Structure 1
């Protein structure tokens, strides 16, 4: 971890899914507004959920298998790690945490020097369209990191080389009242053994918290590493043991009553526990969703 730079902010989360139609239906039933489909030049497609804090969810499918095959063959880390996740875990889940950056080249060097690089940098552009149909081109530069003994999760920084001049306000308004991504929960048998890695990728200290939780505080969110037993005690839900797995997303909402009403109206299974609404993972959702009031 560099002592001179600030912690990297959360940018977005990648959620592999089998079908964007199912993902759109599920996320809409959860009370989210879902953006139009975005097509990558290397075979994957997304339909994002944008939050008003600037973060977003990226449900991801393989839309063009031939292009994806070509991308893997040319060592495109994004597509290769997505494929690895699907082969190991199936078509649904939470595969990656993405940090914001202003210099992906510097991040790549940092990851290489720290021994955590997952492969070559990636530059790409794709069309972007807002809710009104206004279009622009978005360009990105990515730098990747991963742990060799944690094949079910990867991490990267995302430099927005060209930011579309489009209005996202309609896409950031959600019926469930969601305003921000508050935290991401990762399960692993020994959280402390991953401290050095998270300090390198987040450029933030990994600090012990209550009940053996290891917490990485970002400028706009937190990453919590917990063991499966503690996670089940907290949420009532099981989580895989062994390798590091990204299992849950905590959303900050304007009103828990409003969120509760939406979930009930759309017949979404959830548990109301300790001032949180906990929704088990489902097709098109990938991870456990936890809603808490801001």
Structure 2
């Protein structure tokens, strides 16, 4: 069964400053959450998908990678040593243990499942128990991009329509976009990660079309042609470059961003908030509906 998108990590140095940028862009941003392994986050929740704005706030608590143990905190710390931006994509999972076995059998990571829990807050301020299981996957050709699947054990306590109301009318995720010099080099990994056997291939690159959001890998020149942006300096393998989000009314978002003094560009039916504004990420807003 194909795995849809669950959330993406936006790693930043200053968590509250990045959250303020998202708020200026019209997103509702949750409060600060503290992880025992040294990272803190704030969440932007869409329908069945969220953006995890994350910083390494307590580096002394980060544990190193070990055999069969992928360290989420160490990966984010090392990513932030070089840049800010989209660092890791997590897909939906109904059985993280089974997914971990699949990744190991395919040669894309042999890690124990990472289980953790924390308290969350409902809109009325009451406490709700949250628990997750992560199974990590590694594309050996792409050390700068992290991947995992996420199983929610109390999804009814996490997803809440009240948190999904945004001034910019954001509704859902369309796609996570990566750039790579040779997108086809990542075809087998992308298929294994997503469970999508028949990937879409074109002159732009390759894409996995899932029932809930896509993953697109394109050449840097194609990214520039599509979104009017030069991606970050070339690195090794595939690297996250942008996030495409569907909104209700693009013209209304344009007025909102103008009123809030944001530096952005319009590319046809897309509004693009560039990485120099959006803490290393390209945020791409598009009309809700067929594209």
TM-score by length of 2: 0.92
- Partner of residue 268, structure 2: 274
Q: 1:290 to 1:279 in 2, by over 3 A?
A: same
Deviations 1:154-210 (A, max 9, x none): 110111123353672221100111000111110000011100000011101353444
- Partner of residue 58, structure 1: 52
Displacement of 1:72 in angstroms is 4.8
Deviations 1:108-137 (A, max 9, x none): 100000000163321111121133322122
Instruction: Select 2:139's aligned residue among 147, 168, 175.
Output: 147
- Partner Cα distance (1:11, 1:167) in 2: 11
The number of aligned residues is 285
- Partner of residue 80, structure 1: 74
- Partner of residue 107, structure 2: 115
- Partner of residue 29, structure 2: 34
Asked if the contact 1:248/1:290 (under 8 Å) is kept, the reply is yes
Asked if the contact 2:48/2:159 (under 8 Å) is kept, the reply is no
- Partner Cα distance (1:153, 1:206) in 2: 22
**In structure 2, the residue corresponding to 1:152 is in which secondary structure?**
coil
Higher relative contact order (CA 8 A, sep 6+): 1
Instruction: Select 1:216's aligned residue among 208, 213, 217.
Output: 208
**In structure 1, the residue corresponding to 2:168 is in which secondary structure?**
coil
Say whether 1:8 aligns with 2:3: yes
Matches of residues 245-264 of structure 1 in structure 2 within 5 Å? 245-264=239-258
RMSD of aligned Cα (Å) = 1.9
Comparing 207-216 and 16-25, the one that deviates more: 207-216
Say whether 1:174 aligns with 2:166: yes
- Partner of residue 225, structure 1: 217
Comparing 197-206 and 6-15, the one that deviates more: 197-206
- Partner of residue 18, structure 1: 13
Asked if the contact 1:135/1:166 (under 8 Å) is kept, the reply is no
Displacement of 1:213 in angstroms is 2.0
Q: 1:10 to 1:231 in 2, by over 3 A?
A: same
Q: 1:282 to 1:131 in 2, by over 3 A?
A: farther
Say whether 1:160 aligns with 2:155: no
- Partner Cα distance (2:198, 2:38) in 1: 35
Q: 1:73 to 1:211 in 2, by over 3 A?
A: closer
Q: 1:212 to 1:133 in 2, by over 3 A?
A: same
Displacement of 1:34 in angstroms is 0.1
- Partner Cα distance (1:209, 1:76) in 2: 31
- Partner Cα distance (1:36, 1:283) in 2: 22
Say whether 1:293 aligns with 2:287: yes
**In structure 1, the residue corresponding to 2:30 is in which secondary structure?**
coil
Structure 1: which 5+ residue stretches go unaligned? 1-5
Q: 1:118 to 1:181 in 2, by over 3 A?
A: farther
Structure 2: which 5+ residue stretches go unaligned? none
Asked if the contact 1:99/1:158 (under 8 Å) is kept, the reply is yes
TM-score by length of 1: 0.91
**In structure 1, the residue corresponding to 2:86 is in which secondary structure?**
coil
Q: 1:224 to 1:261 in 2, by over 3 A?
A: same
